[in-house]
Amino acid sequence: EQSPSTKAKLRKELDLGEFRKIVRRKHNLKKLQEKLSSVEQSQVELKSAESKVEAAKSHYLSSFKSVDLLVDTSPVKVGSSPIKRSQLKPTALFLTPAQSMLSPRKVMMTTQITQPKEYVSPRKLLDEVGSLLAMSPSKRYSALVDSKTLPLPLKYRVLDELFKALETVSSMMFTRKEKITFNKLKRGIQQMTRKNFTELHLAQIKTVVPDFFKYALVKSPKEKSSYELVITPNYGSVNEDNIDLIEQTTQRKKTFSNALLEILKEHHKEYLSKLIPPIVIDKDKITRWHPEFDVETVEDIIPSMLPKIEINKPKIVTAKDLLDKSHALFVYNNRLNRTLSTMNNGNKNLTEKKFPTTDAKNALKGALKGIPNSFLLRIQEKQAEKAKELMTRSVGQLDEDRMMNRLPDIARRIRTYFVQLQRNVMPFKKVIGQLKQSYPEAMTDQEWKAHLNLLQEKVPHWIVLKSLDGIEHIRIDKKVEFEETVIKTLTK
């Protein structure tokens, strides 16, 4: 505390009149304002630093004295009894002199673990399930479901997968400068793809891309009388050390897939040329196959010749060859002879079976009797134009067609939901949540919004999307005749 004399002195020194004179000077006033603004700015920075410290404290771990760990046990050890905490001592890990005197049989009886009767590894179960689903219809026609690219048949897709595995295995062996034999390739490819890889697949790959590999027969170093098929990748460069294998393999895989697509386009072009009237279209503009073109019935790729040793001995390939060879030994067995004769007759019937094209044409002519040819030609031309338009549609148009096919069902579900709740306006998210529960197809929120926007575009007099207080809502007009106006407009 200050004395009265000092207070009086300070009052005399800090006279208000003198203070006003000092402040009224321009340069002193500016300095004071700058100091005040700096003080305010420092207060704001202090508050922001305090808020950051408080936010950082919420992310810190709270103090703890112990840590509990949950350790999963293997399926084999599920039946074993748990070890008590009191037994987890260093002395419990070693046998005492009294325990070491016990016989091994008693020790085994005391430490025996009860295991399940039979344990199958998850890997084997997955392999069995994969083999069961290998030729299922869902996998066979998976490429036809909402595919944005031209779908390939199953046999072409399997060959493409085998070629990708072949490229991977051969590039790895090429970097190690190892001799690439067919048996080594087969083992590696089958481990990667879980599919059989035969010489037929290799011959088909040679047909599709004949310049990618070099094939040669070399004597086996282990057995001098036998030969091995050696495959050497052809990367098209003289210096093997300067090859970028990653870029080369990716480019070769793309080239192979494009070559398969070109082969299928040739089959499609041949199919279009046989139609009445024939459709002529550039194969590069095709975005979709003809609706009646069955992709899965396309012919197999003709295999090329691989280098083989010609042996004079007859080679048994099929069961029929074995039966023909053993026919002389079982001449007197009538039952076996009957089996052979029935099998030969069945093969003849299979080879001689033809599609009744002439009968179908005659039946069609009889059904169309009396109809003028000019009218039939106009119908066929319209069908050809429609098919041509379908095959050259863009991806956006195909997506819009799929959405238009879904709109009538979606409109019915929306109307039912509004009628049940007896409302005209509902929040957008609530309507989408109800549609997700009832609609059979799974779609994201963005896809649902695209469908509802298209629905508003097609029938604006029935449904309207509006935002109220920043929240999107859907309003429908129940007075509109639904079936006669809305559904007819959507199904045109």
For the record, the structure tokens of 112 come out as 């025996």
Residues β-bridged to residue 219: 227
Q: Would the pTM of this model clear 0.85, i.e. be above it?
A: no
The pLDDT, as a whole number, for residue 67 is 67
pLDDT at 155 over 90: yes
pLDDT at 478 over 60: yes
Residue 231's SS3 state is: strand
Output DSSP code: residue 75: G
- In this prediction, residue 120 has a pLDDT band, given cuts at 50, 70 and 90, of low
- Least confidently predicted of 143-152, 186-195, 429-438: 143-152
Alpha-carbon torsion 56, 60, 62, 65, what sign? negative
236 φψ region: left (φ > 0), alpha (ψ -120 to 50), beta (else)? left
pLDDT at 40 over 70: yes
CA distance 393 to 285: 9
- In this prediction, residue 91 has a pLDDT band, given cuts at 50, 70 and 90, of very low
The pLDDT, as a whole number, for residue 309 is 61
- DSSP calls for 264-287: HHHHHHHHHHTSSSPP---GGG--
pLDDT at 97 over 70: no
CA distance 156 to 158: 5
- In this prediction, residue 251 has a pLDDT band, given cuts at 50, 70 and 90, of very high
The pLDDT, as a whole number, for residue 384 is 79
pLDDT at 117 over 50: no
CATH number of 395-491: 1.10.10.1420
Q: How many CA atoms lie within 13 A of 218 on its CB side?
A: 14
Whether the Cβ atoms of residue 491 and residue 432 lie closer than 8 Å to each other: no
Closest CA to 205 of 279, 151, 255, 152: 255
Residues β-bridged to residue 486: none
Whether the Cβ atoms of residue 445 and residue 432 lie closer than 8 Å to each other: yes
Spell out the residues 6+ positions from residue 427 whose beta carbon is closer than 8 angstroms to its own. Answer: 471, 472, 473, 474
More confident residue, 60 or 287: 287
Q: Which helix (H) or strand (E) holds 468?
A: strand 463-468
Spell out the residues 6+ positions from residue 175 whose beta carbon is closer than 8 angstroms to its own. Answer: 245
The pLDDT, as a whole number, for residue 208 is 94
Whether the Cβ atoms of residue 180 and residue 173 lie closer than 8 Å to each other: yes
More confident residue, 97 or 391: 391
More confident residue, 336 or 483: 483
For the record, the structure tokens of 246 come out as 């990653």
pLDDT tens digits, 67-81: 676 665 555 444 444
How far apart are the two ends of the chain, measured CA to CA in Å? 97
Length of the chain, please? 492
The pLDDT, as a whole number, for residue 209 is 93
Residue 404's SS3 state is: helix
Q: Which amino acid is at 391?
A: M
Please return the burial class of 447, using the count of CB atoms within 10 Å of its CB with bins 0-12, 13-18 and 19+: middle
For the record, the structure tokens of 169 come out as 């295995």
CA distance 182 to 189: 10
For the record, the structure tokens of 487 come out as 């559904």
Q: Which residues of 103-128 are buried (b: 16+ CB within 10 A; e: fewer)?
A: eeeeeeeeeeeeeeeeeeeeeeeeee
pLDDT tens digits, 291-332: 888 889 899 999 999 887 654 445 555 666 666 666 555 554
CA distance 459 to 440: 23
Whether the Cβ atoms of residue 490 and residue 404 lie closer than 8 Å to each other: yes
Q: Long-range contacts for 66-75 (Cβ within 8 Å, ≥24 apart)?
A: 75/116, 75/119
Share of the chain above pLDDT 70, in %: 63
pLDDT at 113 over 70: no
In the predicted model, what is the mean pLDDT of the chain? 76
More confident residue, 242 or 448: 448
CA distance 31 to 23: 10
- In this prediction, residue 265 has a pLDDT band, given cuts at 50, 70 and 90, of very high
211 φψ region: left (φ > 0), alpha (ψ -120 to 50), beta (else)? alpha
Answer whether the bond into residue 277 is a cis peptide, omega within 30°.
Answer: yes
The pLDDT, as a whole number, for residue 353 is 42
Residues β-bridged to residue 472: 467
The pLDDT, as a whole number, for residue 344 is 63
Phi, psi torsion values for 200, nearest 5 degrees? -65, -45
pLDDT tens digits, 208-248: 999 999 999 888 877 767 888 999 999 877 666 677 888 89
Output DSSP code: residue 483: I
